Amino acid sequence: MRWSSLLLPLALPFVAHAAKKSSSVDRFGDFYTKSQASSPLKLADASYKKLTSAPRDYSAAVLLTALDARYACQLCTEFHPEWDILAKSWAKGDKNGDSRLLFGTLDFTNGRDTFLSLGLQTAPVLLLFQPTTGPHAVAVPDPIRYDFSGPQTAENVHAWLARHLPDRPHPPIHRPVDYVSWVVTIVGVLGALAAISRAWAYILPVIQNSNVWAAGSLIAILLFTSGYMFNNIRKVPYVTGDGRGGISYFAPGFQSQFGLETQIIGFLYGVLSFSIIFLTVKAPKIRDVKVQQVTIIIWGVVMVLTYSFLLSLFRVKNGGYPFKLPPFM
């Protein structure tokens, strides 16, 4: 009796540690069983505190969100389906709980006290709680916060979790089959094929018409030579101010341009192209000699004026451009 009274105080710390460890194991088992039935876990203030309290020999990824329409959290609404896909895929691929990771969702409606205690002013917030005991324990018990500035997809969050949970299984993401989308696509394709088959007698002559192909090719050439792709790649402004209260239509130098500048150059190229096509194709077919001469003179003048104006614009962009043509000198 005397020895037991002396050894009891020495044994109390070990008993307490064993009790805490057992409590952590029991908590994981309880939450893991629930997650296999429905993941992510729907949390409240009490269950959040129980899930994230130390000591714990498991990890917990908790999304603090505000889905109620009163809070008008668009990002919460957009990210919620991706979070559900990730949690369900992970739970389905981790049947034995080898990853030791639990997923939970705490909505503001059910977790006001938790939001206030964490000092959160915005949502969503994704926190990863690392183990404090066991083989995967970390030195710093503070949760890791996910950065919502990038793309909000299940794949990106999965990569983030895998990066912070090394040496563990990382079950892949399996997105559910969108049967409605498949049905709509199949019906749309079949409807389009039926419409094409019915109208094929009218479509085939258009496809075989050389003038249609010539017009399409000419439009494509004018778009690309005027700088359409440059504008889309560089995201150039449409116009800009000249610093004197006016508007600059042309950017200085040959390495930059504006959206309106591209349209003006494309229009000039189109006038020149049309002039050349008319003079080479249409003018020779005019039988009246006088009408033919007048037509050639008119379109010749149009071509000379347009080209002269085009050269003057190049001289505006680069004062060292050596070529010029009257009347735009």
Instruction: Based on the fold, state whether residues 214 and 151 are members of the same structural domain.
Output: no
- From the list 60, 56, 29, the residue with the least C-alpha distance to 43 is 60
pTM for the model stands at: 0.55
Q: For the chain, how many structural domains are there in total? A: 2
Round to whole Å and give the CA distance between 182 and 99.
Answer: 34
- CATH of residue 128: 3.40.30.10
Instruction: Based on the fold, state whether residues 18 and 154 are members of the same structural domain.
Output: yes
Of 164, 189, 224, the one marking the end of a domain is: 164
Contact between 299 and 278 (Cβ < 8 Å): yes
Q: What is the pLDDT of residue 3?
A: 41
Q: How many residues does the chain have?
A: 329
Number of C-beta neighbours around residue 106 at 10 A: 26
3-state secondary structure of 58: coil
Would you write out the chain's pLDDT as a tens digit for each of its 329 residues?
444 444 434 443 433 443 444 466 678 888 999 988 888 999 999 999 999 998 899 999 999 999 998 888 999 999 999 999 999 999 999 988 899 999 999 999 999 999 999 998 889 999 999 999 988 888 888 899 999 887 789 999 999 999 999 988 999 999 888 888 899 999 999 999 999 999 998 888 988 998 889 888 988 988 888 888 888 888 888 888 877 878 888 887 777 888 888 888 899 999 999 899 889 888 899 888 899 999 999 999 999 999 999 888 888 877 777 888 888 87
Whether 266 is covered by a domain: the verdict is yes
